[in-house]
Structure 1
Amino acid sequence: MPPRPEVLKAYVTKHYSNYKVTTAYEAGCCGYSAHRCFESYGWNSLVVNSADIFRPLQHQLCPMCKKGKLVTLTTFTARGPPGYWMKKLRKQSNK
């Protein structure tokens, strides 16, 4: 699905027309245009920090071997890993 509000609206209208819709929108470098569109559709739209959005720890099967489950060890915001993580990663890659 392309990342455009009108495409999401068409999908929701087709499949979930009788539901109340609430979105959690991570505003970033692209501004608040999607948030304003969601509100114009009559949806409840929350603007949130990406680090505050819950992501389940177990996601899916390994894409390579199709066995086991992938487990999230940590997540980062749009800024990427903090400095101490980068130092740790550099040390490990130099071994």
Structure 2
Amino acid sequence: MIDNKLLPKLSQNLLEILEDEEYYNITIEVGNDPYVKTFHAHMVILNYRSPYLKRILATNKKKNDETLINIKLPNILPETFQIILR
């Protein structure tokens, strides 16, 4: 059982991970030109948070050579995806 004092810190850490510009392993390009925004994300978090993205990730497995995965989602507004990510 997780101590209730740890939950706020864990939530804060997860939000910080979303802002991480160094250790991400996925880029997601959202929207259509000229309104495209690139998000940095983490495969393991997306895998557990979104069944839709889990299916996409299953077909775009990360290669053993640590190659960055790039996903394109042109039919979603960047503002909407920002909300989904959080």
TM-score (norm 1): 0.22
With normalisation by structure 2, the TM-score equals: 0.23
Could you say which structure has the larger radius of gyration?
A: 1
Higher RCO structure (Cα 8 Å, ≥6 apart): 2
